[in-house]
Structure 1
Amino acid sequence: MATGLATLSLDAAASGLFGLIGTGLGRIAGFFERKQTFNQEQARWSHELKLHELTMQANAQETEAELALIAQSGSWKGLEASILAEAAIGEGSRWVVNTLRLVRPVLTLLLWLITAFIFAQTGDGSVIDAAVFAATAATLWWFGDRAPKPPARPSAE
Structure 2
Amino acid sequence: MASIANLTLDAAAGGLFGLIGTALGRVASFFERRQAFAQEQAKWVHELQLHEMNMRAKAQETEAELALVAQAGSWRGLEASILADAAIGEASRWVVNTLRLVRPTLTFLLWLITGWIFAITQDGTIVEAAVFAATAATLWWFGDRAPRSPSTSPGRV
Query: Normalized against structure 1, the TM-score is what?
Result: 0.80
Q: CA deviation at 1:148?
A: 3.8
Q: CA deviation at 1:83?
A: 0.7
- Between 121-130 and 142-151, the greater mean CA deviation after superposition: 142-151
**Structural mapping, 1:51-70, within 5 Å:** 51-70=50-69
**Per-residue deviation, residues 49-78 of structure 1 (Å, max 9, x unmatched):** 222222223323333333333222222222
Q: Which residue of 2 aligns with 1:120?
A: 119
- Between 139-148 and 23-32, the greater mean CA deviation after superposition: 139-148
**Structural mapping, 1:1-150, within 5 Å:** 1-2=1-2, 7-149=6-148
The higher relative CO (CA closer than 8 Å, separation ≥ 6) is in: 2
Q: Which residue of 1 aligns with 2:154?
A: none
Structure 2: runs of 5+ lacking an equivalent: 152-157
Percent identity of equivalent pairs: 76
1:19 alignment partner AA: G
2:89 alignment partner AA: G
Q: CA deviation at 1:36?
A: 0.7
2:73 alignment partner AA: G
Give the Cα–Cα distance (whole angstroms) in 1 for the partners of residues 150 and 85 of structure 2: 20
Give the Cα–Cα distance (whole angstroms) in 1 for the partners of residues 79 and 61 of structure 2: 27
SS of the residue corresponding to residue 146 of structure 1 reads coil
2:123 alignment partner AA: D
Give the Cα–Cα distance (whole angstroms) in 1 for the partners of residues 99 and 33 of structure 2: 84
Q: CA deviation at 1:2?
A: 4.6
Give the Cα–Cα distance (whole angstroms) in 1 for the partners of residues 2 and 105 of structure 2: 129
Q: CA deviation at 1:28?
A: 0.3
**Per-residue deviation, residues 16-67 of structure 1 (Å, max 9, x unmatched):** 3222211111110000001111111111112222222222233233333333
Q: Which residue of 2 aligns with 1:155?
A: none
Q: CA deviation at 1:149?
A: 4.0
Structure 1: runs of 5+ lacking an equivalent: 153-157
Give the Cα–Cα distance (whole angstroms) in 2 for the partners of residues 151 and 32 of structure 1: 82
Query: Normalized against structure 2, the TM-score is what?
Result: 0.80
2:125 alignment partner AA: S
Give the Cα–Cα distance (whole angstroms) in 1 for the partners of residues 112 and 122 of structure 2: 17
Q: CA deviation at 1:128?
A: 0.8
